Amino acid sequence: MSGATPVTMKHIAAQAGVDRSTVSLALRNHPSLPAKTNARIQHIARQMGYRPNPLVAALMMHRAKPLGVEPTATIAYVTELPADQSGLRLRNPVQRAMRQGLALRASALGFRIEEFHVGQAGMSSARISDILIARGICGIVLGPRTGEKHEPLHIDWDRFACVSLGSKYLEEKIDYVCTDHYQNMRLISERCRQLGYRRIGLVLRKELSELLEHRFHSACLLDQTDQPMGERCAPLIEPHNLPWPERTVEWCRAERPDVIVSTISELGQEWLKLAAGLPGRPAVVSVSVEEQNGVIAGIFQDGAQLGAMALELVAARVQHNEIGVRPVRRSYLLDGVWVEGISCPPKKPKARHKNP
């Protein structure tokens, strides 16, 4: 085919020896055709340089609808949070931004989001699965997990295109979108050292560290091995039921960090008061800054972009009829961004005493 002449389904049909409707089905991976037929026609299309026209695809989406009727294709948002924390009522700012990004991108691509809350009003995960199958909804975004203990979700995964948002679901090889916690901790260490800090101390609840597969902890330990022994600070990773702030104060006096890295934002003022009363008055950095107001320094996670990414991945799989769990999980990670704050100012060098 000439580069000036677009390759059409009619061209592919002639080359493959089938009719145009068969090509249309094969390019959408339609289950009504044998898998070998789909693969053969898709291979021919790639060799011929076929590219679908997004404008034609959009026209076909609306063709069967009455004038003025908006598209109603639905993607399910399945969450373990209660119904009073749905949509914009989510208390966690990052999760709220994820949900907003999800909805905005869905609207832009011609989908609507419908929430399903596991455990609410008799809605078990198995019941939700049955409802989605009955309604022909084949796309699912799983909301972030927030607690430490989780019951397995009894969903018929082979019937859905599914992506988890914010955290990994270990019971199945489900693709997931998440902030890159390991890289974020590396960035924190780098920026703190640029600001003059040397003894960087990580404080995390053990349950949260396990949920995040110890990525903050791993990055912190790697950074410590690159530093002189006198600048290493053992992390504090302990269960949340230990007394706080007493345990943290005890750890600070033993390890003498000059900057504390933790989940600061939700207890920002308490952390600042705690740090002000400690020997050396260590700086404070959050692994997840909720408000970029110049107070708490740390990592900003772009929840809206994470939500949009999850929606795009599910929508693409639905449109290409890629249903079921992949043999190998795909992970999509988004770097966080460092934000400045008065909780971690440039460290002033110690004054040198001149000999008389």
- Concatenate the DSSP letters of all residues of 243-287 into one string: -TTHHHHHHHHHH--SEEEES-GGGHHHHHHHHHTSTT--EEEES
Task: Supply 208's token pair.
Answer: 């949260």
pLDDT of amino acid 111: 87
pLDDT lower than 50: segments of the chain: 1-3, 54-55, 57-59, 61, 64, 66-69, 71
pLDDT of amino acid 187: 97
pLDDT digits (tens, 9 = 90+) for 249-308: 888 889 999 999 988 765 566 777 777 777 788 999 999 998 888 889 999 999 999 999
9-52 and 73-178+304-333 in the same fold: no
| Bridge partners for 200 per DSSP | 259
pLDDT of amino acid 55: 38
> Tell me, which fold does domain 9-52 have in CATH?
434 Repressor (Amino-terminal Domain) (1.10.260)
pLDDT of amino acid 246: 78
What distance in Å separates the CA atoms of residue 97 and residue 356, rounded to the nearest whole number? 60
The dotted CATH code for 181-300 is 3.40.50.2300
Which residue shows structure tokens 């929840």?
A: 303
Annotate 153-196 with three-state secondary structure: CCCCHHHCEEEEECCCCCCCCCEEEEECHHHHHHHHHHHHHHCC
What distance in Å separates the CA atoms of residue 325 and residue 208, rounded to the nearest whole number? 26
The dotted CATH code for 73-178+304-333 is 3.40.50.2300
Q: Which residue ranges make up each domain of the chain?
A: 9-52, 73-178+304-333, 181-300
CA neighbours within 13 Å on the CB side: how many for 229? Answer: 0
Q: Sheet containing 139-142: give its strands across.
A: 111-117, 73-79, 139-142, 161-165, 175-179, 331-334
pLDDT of amino acid 351: 54
DSSP SS3 for 334: strand
pLDDT of amino acid 233: 93
